[in-house]
Chain A
């Protein structure tokens, strides 16, 4: 619970500490969650309470040939929190997310989910992991050969034996959660991704990720390339999903406004590690020139 301290800066977060306690029970009762059997805080008989680390990086080394991305990197993500990762372009923020869902493997150290090393998981375990930890890619990465409905229902079609009608209904539910429900946008289910605007595409990508009601959502630069009002909308959505679905979120961004708004804690990627990880008020008060330069947008 220690994450959800009311923070004076991040507006909506302050109203949340009370809500969060009840969220777990509520969000676990979701229809899809029951159908798929992903319960928040429980995995393979292990449990994790709110505020305890659910994902842990232990002394992780990662390099692409001579290009070293991480050296001895440590980071803990606590259940139920929104952790924002900030850092310059090309420093390895996306790599960090990809390590978490096993799209990339660390050469040294461990990336643990409920204490299980993601790097050692076999195909079946990875499949299970990816139903619980889902990623929203930077450009959305919608499948352009499929309709929006099929895009959003992709994971359900893959992992459950639901019929088409039920999948479509679940897809519509997820779309409604991101504000693109068929009530407001009657044609959306049958449209192809190409006709959507960039902002809508990101929201559909978000809907696709939440269709299986994951426990953890990884957002790769959700607001990059959007106009301010769309940025806001996405940021509010991240908050709302945390509240309504009880998800743990990791948000990669270099947009500080979004970072302050959505975060419980902020981690700064610097020099192949995360030397500064703190809750928002503490982080904003850090005096270190590295932090100050980054959050004030100064180039050193």
Chain B
């Protein structure tokens, strides 16, 4: 639990180096070098173990939410409340992030293209990078992390004060009451935010192309849209959906597995930041390898 990232980073390095040294460290009386190695191996092993357990727990919770959530009552009030909490409140930061990433990317590409005298193709070049990759990923890492940490902090303090146990004790289902609405809301809010972010990022690009590179905004817009195919929108929104879901489930899982004590809430929240970022990048890679051949 302490290192949710242990699984992906530890797996390739841990196994090959782990076994030989582990058996070789049986020579005890030598010096303390092998025992330090042994300790290191044990640490790596523990980390891998914790990582696998963590992923398993995450999957189990996701499964429970997917099975118990879509039953009556659907908890529509809770879901819409969470959408407001997670979505509407994130619009300002989404707008700012997207605007700036659109402007920065257009500027960077513009400089490079101007050297080749090809600045007119600025719209073509920026659109794919923004829509397929930068907007969804950047928003997932920032806004998604913000959603997830919010959930971890809230659910973690509920866990610490036994409120989650109290829900069970009153005969209700905490997964259904707490996880399901957040998971659904995050999976709805994220694609909506990404759609909005795509628009704003394009506006940012238009602004820079018109003012800095003298490529008319209308022309930039035309080329930008021209380059995009329906699949690219689907890719963007699929990523957003997956990232939103990941942020939701990681945030909830971290909250539910918070240990005792108030420091534990802080610890769990910090871990959530790392966990969401790493999970988002891994999922991004997986989705990109999935979509690239089709595109």
Seen from chain A, the residues whose Cβ lies within 8 Å of a Cβ on chain B are 98, 101, 103, 123, 126-128, 130-131, 134-135, 137-139, 141-144, 154-155, 158-159, 208
Binds A, one of B161-169, B216-224, B270-278: B161-169
Complex CA–CA separation, A130 to B171 (angstroms)? 5
Other A-B pairs beyond A131-B171, A142-B166, A154-B170, 13, CB < 8 Å = A98-B165, A103-B165, A103-B169, A126-B171, A134-B170, A137-B165, A139-B162, A142-B163, A143-B158, A143-B167, A154-B172, A155-B170, A208-B170
Q: B165–A158 contact, CB under 8 A?
A: no
Measured between beta carbons, the chain A residues less than 8 angstroms from B166 are 135, 137, 141-143
Measured between beta carbons, the chain A residues less than 8 angstroms from B171 are 126-128, 130-131, 155, 158-159
Those of B188-207 within 8 Å (CB) of chain A: none
Measured between beta carbons, the chain A residues less than 8 angstroms from B167 are 143
Check B11 for interface membership: any CB of A closer than 8 A. no
Q: A141–B173 contact, CB under 8 A?
A: no
Complex CA–CA separation, A126 to B168 (angstroms)? 9
Measured between beta carbons, the chain A residues less than 8 angstroms from B163 are 141-144
Complex CA–CA separation, A155 to B165 (angstroms)? 14
| Least distance between B160 CB and chain A CB atoms (Å) | 9
| Least distance between B176 CB and chain A CB atoms (Å) | 10
How many CB-defined contacts (below 8 Å) exist between A and B?
Answer: 48
Identify 9 residue pairs between A and B in the complex whose beta-carbon atoms are under 8 Å apart, listed by A's number.
A103-B168, A127-B171, A137-B166, A141-B162, A141-B166, A142-B166, A143-B166, A155-B172, A158-B172
Complex CA–CA separation, A155 to B162 (angstroms)? 16
Complex CA–CA separation, A142 to B171 (angstroms)? 15
- Most A CB atoms within 10 A — which of B166, B168, B172? B166
| Least distance between B77 CB and chain A CB atoms (Å) | 12
| Least distance between A3 CB and chain B CB atoms (Å) | 25
| Least distance between B169 CB and chain A CB atoms (Å) | 5
Measured between beta carbons, the chain A residues less than 8 angstroms from B161 are 139, 141
| Least distance between A214 CB and chain B CB atoms (Å) | 10
Q: A135–B169 contact, CB under 8 A?
A: yes
Measured between beta carbons, the chain B residues less than 8 angstroms from A131 are 171
Task: Bits for B133-159, please: 1 = Cβ < 8 Å to A, else 0.
Answer: 000000000000000000000000010
| Least distance between B198 CB and chain A CB atoms (Å) | 33
Q: B169–A158 contact, CB under 8 A?
A: no
Complex CA–CA separation, A196 to B168 (angstroms)? 24
* 8 pairs of A and B residues whose beta carbons are closest in the complex: A141-B166, A130-B171, A141-B162, A137-B162, A135-B169, A127-B171, A155-B170, A158-B172
Measured between beta carbons, the chain B residues less than 8 angstroms from A123 are 173
Nearest residue, chain A, Cβ from B172:
A158
Complex CA–CA separation, A155 to B158 (angstroms)? 18
| Least distance between B105 CB and chain A CB atoms (Å) | 40
Complex CA–CA separation, A130 to B173 (angstroms)? 12
Nearest residue, chain A, Cβ from B154:
A145
| Least distance between A67 CB and chain B CB atoms (Å) | 13
Complex CA–CA separation, A122 to B158 (angstroms)? 25
Measured between beta carbons, the chain B residues less than 8 angstroms from A138 are 162
| Least distance between A222 CB and chain B CB atoms (Å) | 14
Q: B168–A130 contact, CB under 8 A?
A: yes
Complex CA–CA separation, A234 to B215 (angstroms)? 77
Task: Bits for B6-29, please: 1 = Cβ < 8 Å to A, else 0.
Answer: 000000000000000000000000
| Least distance between A223 CB and chain B CB atoms (Å) | 17
Measured between beta carbons, the chain A residues less than 8 angstroms from B172 are 154-155, 158
Nearest residue, chain A, Cβ from B177:
A158
Complex CA–CA separation, A257 to B168 (angstroms)? 31
Complex CA–CA separation, A41 to B51 (angstroms)? 48
Complex CA–CA separation, A127 to B169 (angstroms)? 8
Nearest residue, chain A, Cβ from B173:
A123
Q: B168–A141 contact, CB under 8 A?
A: no
| Least distance between A221 CB and chain B CB atoms (Å) | 12
Complex CA–CA separation, A134 to B165 (angstroms)? 12
| Least distance between B41 CB and chain A CB atoms (Å) | 22
Measured between beta carbons, the chain B residues less than 8 angstroms from A159 are 171
Measured between beta carbons, the chain B residues less than 8 angstroms from A103 are 165, 168-169
Measured between beta carbons, the chain A residues less than 8 angstroms from B162 are 137-139, 141
Complex CA–CA separation, A141 to B170 (angstroms)? 11
Complex CA–CA separation, A131 to B168 (angstroms)? 11
Complex CA–CA separation, A135 to B167 (angstroms)? 11
| Least distance between A158 CB and chain B CB atoms (Å) | 5
Measured between beta carbons, the chain A residues less than 8 angstroms from B165 are 98, 103, 137, 141
Measured between beta carbons, the chain B residues less than 8 angstroms from A126 are 171
Complex CA–CA separation, A101 to B171 (angstroms)? 10
Complex CA–CA separation, A138 to B166 (angstroms)? 11
Those of B98-153 within 8 Å (CB) of chain A: none
| Least distance between A70 CB and chain B CB atoms (Å) | 19
| Least distance between A55 CB and chain B CB atoms (Å) | 15
Complex CA–CA separation, A251 to B139 (angstroms)? 51
- Most A CB atoms within 10 A — which of B167, B168, B171? B171
